[in-house]
Structure 1
Amino acid sequence: MAPITVGAVAAHFGRDVDRAVAKAVGIIEAAARDGVDLLVFPDASLGGYIGDLNAPDVAELPSALDADGPEIAAVIAAAGAMTVCVGYAEASDGLTYNSAICVSGDGVHGTHRKVHQPAGEALAYAAGDSFSAFDSPVGRMGMLIDYDKTFPEAARTIALDGAHIIAALSAWPASVTDRASRLPADRQSRLFDLYDAARAAENQVVLVSSNQTGVMGSLRFLGQAKVVGPGGEILATTRSKGGLATVTLDVEAEITRARRVLDHLGERRSETYVLDPVPAVER
């Protein structure tokens, strides 16, 4: 494929869904003028994230939206030729999921429901149960939602399914137990960047990492949207500020170069690995 321009969004999205949709559409339109081909929004862009990881207030949860509803339709209409990944609270069969959807003007290309839930998030959302890749106008890709990227198996599963791009959508806050006076010095700030680089490098893929900024309830979000190359190098970043991290690259050429001598996926010795024989609840 030809080179593409990739963008990762760092921005604040609150509870007002109509305002969030209008803001997302505005960002998409501005990115289109700049020639962006793949745009990745944060987790919970349409309606915001929960405000407390330990005991989320059930009266203040994000509005659950239908994947076929007018909010997603507005994103599809704005996307046009661009591939757009956006996070939202998905209503399905009486449950609410922390979800991401990948669309273009042609419709939906892929979806993901967050699998790994930190602290009290299970009080607000049901958990997803799978990871997979899908074909999109910018190539084969997959999605993770914030805490998912802490687990190497999640990104590895997507890479083994043929993804060359992983979109990691986050609403990743600063530490709630050991908060630093400056965001760049926060423990979670370091981990956020570490996981982004590690997941890209160990799978030799391009990782596009978005994140919320600002404050929601007791949570202060880190920003730090970035694009990471298949060698783990940060190609573009917003740091802790809001904005759009963009870079133009030939994804296939970069991955071929990274895997020319050391091919991590091809050189695995899967027969030697312990595949979690004891259920987690019994530990």
Structure 2
Amino acid sequence: MTALRMAAASAAFGRDLEADFAAAGRLIEEAREQGVGLLALPEACLGGYLLSLDDDGELDAGPPALAADGPEIRRLAALAGSMTVVAGYCEAGADGRRYNSVVCVTGDGVLGNHRKVHQPLSEDASYASGDRFHAFDTPIGRIGMMICYDKAFPESARALALDGAEIGVVVSAWPGARTAPAADLANDRWKRRFDLFDRARALENQIVWLSANQAGTFGSLRFVGSAKVVDPGGEILAGTGVGPGLAVAELDVARALETARRSMGHLRDRRPETYTYAGAASA
């Protein structure tokens, strides 16, 4: 069995694509110097996120919409080289709609793509919604991806785990609380929720979990950082705190999953025939 060194980034990104590529390149090189094989960059790291999540908040034209097979994603793949890199961007769909998406690349090209399914607050005014979760194979193992609010729904991560994902990767632009924010982000209630979701999704599915997030401020949003690597028991192996940085940890993924599932296997012990409720057929 072989150990994998993996990293999740907490970093700031904005509208300037050249600046974003420079920041992504620095993070990729920093990770490469530490022997990282899998790196997660935040949601919307190519072009920035929205300026506000309020209907009457600050607005602009939004991030540039990029084709999943376009030159910008090929540029990201070239930066990745032998590393597997996951990064968020605004996708220009063939249907003419814009999607909040995340792509997985190596130097050989695109390995997987996910469109954000769950949209908080007024995000649906800027993006269309994705419609599925799926895992896929990569040089470092089978992974599944989700974006930010997706992780608030247990079904998202469970769908990936049931599709064989060994590593869940969630990229976020998760801000602090919109009302009564804490002066210290470390004590912010939305930051606590961010961390709880990460640990719960890893533990309930007994998978390795990488969580990347934006840091700093953008428009009216103040992001909580808190990138981390979580083991299948829900324990945080490495974290950045609320500031920028890389959370780096090394783990033998296959052995960690085997150990976590040896006695109590949460996927094995499921009883799906009992998971019904009144009105389920019409829900």
Query: When the two structures are superposed, what TM-score results if normalisation uses the length of structure 1?
Result: 0.96
Aligned twin of 2:31: 31
Task: List gaps (5 residues or longer) in structure 1.
Answer: none
Asked if residue 154 in structure 1 is aligned to residue 176 in structure 2, the reply is no
String of CA shifts for 1:215-273, please: whole Å, max 9, x gaps.
11111000000000000000000011100000111001001000000000000000000
Q: 2-side partners of 1:6 and 1:240: how far apart?
A: 19
CA contact (8 A) 1:58 1:124 kept: no
What is residue 15 of structure 1 aligned with on the other side? 15
Secondary structure of the 1:159 match is helix
Distance 2:9 2:281 in 1: 39
Which residue of 2 is the match for residue 248 of structure 1?
250
1:116-265 matches, within 5 Å, as: 116-265=118-267
1:277 partnered with 2:280 = yes
Q: Distance in 2 between matches of 1:279 and 1:88?
A: 34
Q: Corresponding residue for 1:49?
A: 49
Query: What is the Cα deviation at residue 57 of structure 1?
Result: 5.1
Contact 2:11–2:225, Cα closer than 8 Å, also in 1: yes
Q: What are the Cα deviations for residues 153-192 of structure 1, in whole angstroms up to 9, with x where unaligned?
A: 0000000000010001000000112311110111101000
Amino acid at match of 1:47: G
Equivalent residue of 1:73, what SS?
Answer: helix
Percent same amino acid among aligned pairs? 54
Paired amino acid for 2:270: R
Q: Which secondary structure does the structure 2 equivalent of 1:196 belong to?
A: helix
Superposed, 1:78-93 pairs within 5 Å as 78-92=79-93, 93=95
- For 1:149 and 1:278, locate their aligned partners in 2 and report how far apart those are by CA, in whole Å: 24
**Partner Cα separation in structure 2 for residue 168 and residue 230 of structure 1:** 15
> Which 5+ residue runs of structure 2 have no aligned equivalent?
none
Query: What's the secondary structure of 2:280's corresponding residue?
Result: coil
Output the amino acid matched with 2:85.
V
Q: 1:279 to 1:52 in 2, by over 3 A?
A: farther
Distance in 1 of aligned mates of 2:18 and 2:9: 19
**Does the 8 Å contact 2:58/2:219 carry over to 1?**
no
CA contact (8 A) 1:172 1:211 kept: yes
Render the CA deviation track for 1:183-214: whole Å, top value 9, x for unaligned.
01111010000000000000000000000001
Aligned residue for 2:130, secondary structure, equals coil
Shift of 1:51: 1.0
The one-letter amino acid paired with 1:38 is L
Question: In structure 1, what is the Cα distance between the partners aligned to 2:268 and 2:262?
Answer: 11
Q: TM-score normalized by structure 2? A: 0.96
Q: What is the CA–CA distance in structure 1 between the aligned matches of 2:194 and 2:126, rounded to whole Å? A: 23
**Kept in 2: contact 1:102–1:109 (CA 8 A):** yes
Tell me the equivalent position of 1:99.
101
- Answer yes or no: is the 8 Å Cα contact 1:25–1:74 preserved in 2: no
Which moved further from structure 2: 29-38 or 250-259? 29-38
1:5 alignment counterpart? 5
List 4+ stretches of structure 1 deviating above 2 A. 55-60
Structure 2 contact 84–105 (Cα < 8 Å) conserved: yes
> 1:3-47 deviations in whole A, cap 9, x for unaligned?
110000000001101210122122112211211000000000000
Residues 213 and 241 in structure 1, CA contact (< 8 A), matched pair in contact too: yes
Q: Deviation of residue 68 (structure 1)?
A: 1.6
Partner of 1:76: 77
